[in-house]
Chain A
Amino acid sequence: MIRTAALTKRYGRITAVDDLDLDVREGDVYGFLGANGSGKTTTVRMLLGLVLATSGTIEVMGQPMPARARQVLPEVGALVEGPAAYAHLSGRANLALFDAMGPGGGRASRARRVDDALARVGLGGVDSRPVHAYSLGMRQRLGLANALLRRPRLLVLDEPTNGLDPQGIREIRGLLLELNAHGTTVFLSSHLLAEIEQMCTRVGVLDQGRLVVQEQLDVLRQPTGRVVVHTPDADRARALLDGQVEHQDGERLVIRVPDAAALNALLVGGGVRVASLTAERRTLEDVVLAATSAGSDTFSVPAVAR
């Protein structure tokens, strides 16, 4: 769906995106993670033909970008660095205006498309007040509605849940997953680990312009081979397990053992009351922290001066 090869963008001496090989497959919910300033937005803008690459190639839906932007972009819906609208017009008027631009927006079906998109994002009953009176969350929803106008095959969303309350985040997540279930590929750029972890099937991690991880989420979150047990009988469990306990913190034990079920049977058989027992998995946070350096908004002096 999206494929880049050696994609590089330099601004003067600063390299914003460095030798990027993205591979987003059809049907993915692709999480594009990175700290602020790691080059996420520049990459998104290059995918959409807003920023021109210094070198490297981009293919979206099998066609080169930005050369074939006129064919590709009508099938792409995007939210880039926050929504934008004409503040003096209502949400509906805004969508009608955006719908009238560019190819594929027949006049006869315009009102239906606009109503459809508004209903999808939960703004179906919105009145005619101008956008400057909208809350941040409503603007975000309007931006999403704009992205959905042409029923795109690919959604490129930069921080789509910005400004939404927990209820709204949940709704939008549900909407995106539903769209994905109906065949829309979703490319989600975010610095929120939890958001990516809850939604995505594949993850790419950007660090200082370089792609340091690109993998299925399931693979990244493989079991660590350890089991975390909460028990009021911690000492008894320790005695029973004899050396397999790696770490104890009050009633919480971290135990190195391959089979969690067997461990449970062993503990219960030995008279240990087990409050909870979980096979430990690597969290996305572990993966990201292991793969990346300090965020680009820290400017501490490096340990070894060059």
Chain B
Amino acid sequence: MILVELRKMVRSRRTWTTILLIDALPTLVAILLAITDLGPRPGQGPAFLSAVLTDGTLFPLAALAIVLPLFLPIAVALTAGEAIAGEAQAGTLRYLLIRPVGRTRLLVAKLVSVMAFVVLSVLVVAVTAYVVGTLLLGKGDVTTGSTSISGSSLSTQELLLRTLLALAYAMLCMLGVAAIALFLSTVSESPLGAALGTLAVLIASTILLTLDAASALQPWLPTRYWLAFVDLFRDPILWRDVVRGVLLQLVYVVVFLAAGWANFTTKDITD
């Protein structure tokens, strides 16, 4: 069933449209940067963007930092929100289940397919950003090492390792979003409802983070540690928020997947 879901995802035009749209923003940023040569000052604007002007090979990181906080969560919420509710709306859910595909198995397959979608989009963004970055912004002298945000130099190898860590961390954050959206997808009858519900949660979380009165809640908000991956590029790495972020996301993943599973496996399919 997992293979079937992956096949469906890869063959869907919507998948590629979404990826294209996600990809468009960092590309636009690269073009603007190349034309105007106006970068944000170090420490301001999206992470890494200031460093990009001197070294185009860093642009994949900057591109991910642009995409991760907003575009990718939207795409994940849409895709995962569609998972069950979309099949229900198209009427195909009942035919899946009487094939028979076990309900738990279907849920797992959907989750895997959503995560595969995330990996695919991140890969596409990283690759295009690398190509666009080196073409438009030029190659810096990578051999002497790139700069960490703390000012010291990182070797290329270390940079690569930290990038992979940051990617893994971002994936986990997206898994948290996917878990919420998948749960709502088993509850809601409309895929749009599930996606918007998820986005509402994320937006509410972002708003509460800016509110001092909500400080008691803040450590538990899903988006609280999303940007902690930037800490991985400090020297030395600032682990505190990253570790808390991982634990918090794990809690969200476990709780919402369990709730989604409990709801879906005991639900009357009446669409």
Contact = CB atoms under 8 A, between A and B. Distances in A.
Interface of A: 45, 48-52, 69-70, 73-74, 76, 78, 80-89, 97-98, 100-103, 146
A97 B8 contact: yes
Contact of B94 (A76, A84, A89): A84
Contacts of B7: 97, 100
A102 B270 CA distance: 21
A70 B269 contact: no
14 contacts: A45-B269, A50-B94, A50-B270, A51-B268, A73-B98, A73-B99, A74-B99, A76-B98, A78-B98, A84-B90, A84-B92, A88-B13, A97-B7, A101-B96
Interface string B63-83: 000000000000000000000
Contact of A86 (B3, B90, B266, B270): B90
B268 A84 contact: no
Contact of A51 (B92, B99, B269): B269
Contact of B99 (A81, A88, A102): A102
A98 B7 CA distance: 12
A87 B98 contact: no
Interface in B1-59: 1, 3-4, 7-8, 11-13
Given A85-B92, A100-B4, A50 B268 contact: yes
A86 B97 contact: no
A83 B91 CA distance: 8
B1 A45 contact: no
B180 to A, nearest CB: 26
B98 A101 contact: no
Contacts of A103: 100
Interface of B: 1, 3-4, 7-8, 11-13, 90-92, 94-102, 266, 268-270
Contacts of A98: 95-96, 99
B96 A50 contact: no
B3 A100 contact: yes
Nearest to A149: B99
Contacts of B98: 48-50, 73, 76, 78, 80
B197 to A, nearest CB: 24
A72 to B, nearest CB: 8
Contacts of B12: 88
A84 B91 contact: yes
A159 to B, nearest CB: 14
Nearest to A105: B99
Given A45-B268, A103-B100, 9 more contacts: A50-B269, A50-B270, A80-B95, A81-B94, A84-B94, A85-B92, A86-B8, A100-B3, A101-B101
A97 B94 contact: no
Nearest to A48: B98
A49 B97 contact: yes
Interface hub of B1, B7, B11, B100 (most chain A Cβ within 10 A): B100
